[in-house]
Structure 1
Amino acid sequence: MPFPDEVAPVEVVPHRAAWATRFARLAVELGGALGPLALAIDHVGSTSVPGLAAKDCVDLQIRVAGPPQPASLVPPLTALGYRLRPEPWNRSETANGATHPKLVFAPPVGAAERCNVHVRAHGGPNARFALLFRDYLLADAAARDAWGAFKIRLAGSVRDLTDYGQIKAPATAVLMGAAERWAATTGWRES
């Protein structure tokens, strides 16, 4: 659920080159706050794929050693104004049939630019999932274009973020089935 200051109808827009710049700026800020806790900071989600329509909300993935620990991650991120999302689905997620811990942070109140900061275990299946999603859509223009068209149509008829996410979830599973086949065929490995 979005925090009250984030509530707005879902809008999917054409890709913006500024998303890469926003990611780079946020990665420097977050990396500086977390220091060696951040093993990698990845631009993930639809905004990481040039040419893909997306909500104007940059998704970052911070990979950490082992399961994300609130005691070590919350203080440096809240010092920057980031807010830990409290919902159960922002504390764990399913990948490859198993549940894996994660933490998700919202941007500071009043931030001019929206983002979601996902913290996952380095080498974990859910971190792999985010990287595979990105890399598959970077490699397959037809899949990228179809995914973007689907999201535009969905956002045109479903304006509530929770409903949008629930409807998109089964379609994401279908997309990721194709991504897994692509990964097996090409020998893709997360970096």
Structure 2
Amino acid sequence: MPEQEIPRVSMTAEEIEAANLGAAPKLNSQITLREHDPQWSAAFERETVRMKERLGHLDHWIEHVGSTSVPGLPAKPIIDMLLIVPDSGDEASYVPALEALGYELAIREPEWYEHRVLRRYDIDPSADSVNLHVLSTGCPENRRMLRFRDRLRRHSGDRELYADTKRALARQSWEYMQNYADAKSEVVAGIIERAMADDD
């Protein structure tokens, strides 16, 4: 049975620090965006092959999400991936297998769908790192993330709106990367609402 939707709200500095395992990396600067690089998709495909080999014991699904998954969209050089597993709270079922590939568990949010983020650095000359988001099968956020990506791929108007928003916000200085992400939330919510309406 699908989980009840849990709204994502802007995080305070205390909440950001609490979610991070260890000190949350501070930005205290502007955001560096790059024009879309086709190598991002190639890097995603390579990482997917490596993960599937390690996660063969577990029912799972891997998707390329975030701005690097949308041709024509500027993005931070960070590959966002979504790993869907039966129970994201069951870290023992997937974290050791991913640690063997060089991933480290970086974020744990039990109150928000048992969301986890693992990171790996130096994956490709085109990308600084991978943010691997882990959520459970049936989690409503999975559908939202995928519909958002698909809407941006198909709809040039929303893609341009999001690109303009990103560029404007990137020129500001942010204490944490999460603050920049939260500042986009109203525009993101509107795009997701339109994407969901397309499905109805």
Give TM-score, length-normalised by structure 1.
0.79
Counterpart among 129, 135, 140 of residue 144 in structure 2 = 129
Q: Structure 2, unaligned stretches of length 5 or more?
A: 1-19
User: Aligned in 2, Cα 1:100/1:41: closer, same or farther, shift over 3 Å?
Assistant: same
Give how far 1:36 is off. Answer: 4.1
Give how far 1:76 is off. Answer: 0.6
User: Aligned in 2, Cα 1:3/1:138: closer, same or farther, shift over 3 Å?
Assistant: farther
Give how far 1:120 is off. Answer: 0.7
Are 1:31 and 2:49 an aligned pair? no
Residue by residue, what CA displacement relative to the aligned partner does 1:93-113 show, whole Å, maximum 9, x if unpaired? 7xxxxx3112110105x5554
Are 1:175 and 2:188 an aligned pair? yes
Extract structure 1 runs of 4+ deviating beyond 4 A: 1-4, 6-9
Give how far 1:3 is off. Answer: 8.0
Give how far 1:180 is off. Answer: 2.1
Are 1:185 and 2:185 an aligned pair? no
Give how far 1:66 is off. Answer: 3.1
Q: Quick one: which amino acid aligns to residue 116 of structure 1? A: N
Q: Quick one: which amino acid aligns to residue 91 of structure 1? A: E
Report the equivalent of 1:80. 101
Give how far 1:43 is off. Answer: 0.2
User: Aligned in 2, Cα 1:38/1:28: closer, same or farther, shift over 3 Å?
Assistant: farther
Report the equivalent of 1:96. none
Distance, in Å, in 2 between the alignment partners of 1:3 and 1:16 is 31
Q: Structure 1, unaligned stretches of length 5 or more?
A: 94-98
Distance, in Å, in 2 between the alignment partners of 1:2 and 1:148 is 31
Are 1:52 and 2:70 an aligned pair? no
Give TM-score, length-normalised by structure 2.
0.76
Counterpart among 22, 26, 39 of residue 18 in structure 1 = 39
Distance, in Å, in 2 between the alignment partners of 1:173 and 1:36 is 39
Q: Quick one: which amino acid aligns to residue 72 of structure 1? A: S
Aligned residues: 175
Distance, in Å, in 1 between the alignment partners of 2:183 and 2:110 is 18
What value does the CA root-mean-square deviation take over the aligned residues?
2.5
The structure where helix makes up a greater share of residues is 1
Assess if the C-alpha contact under 8 Å between 1:68 and 1:119 holds in 2. Answer: no
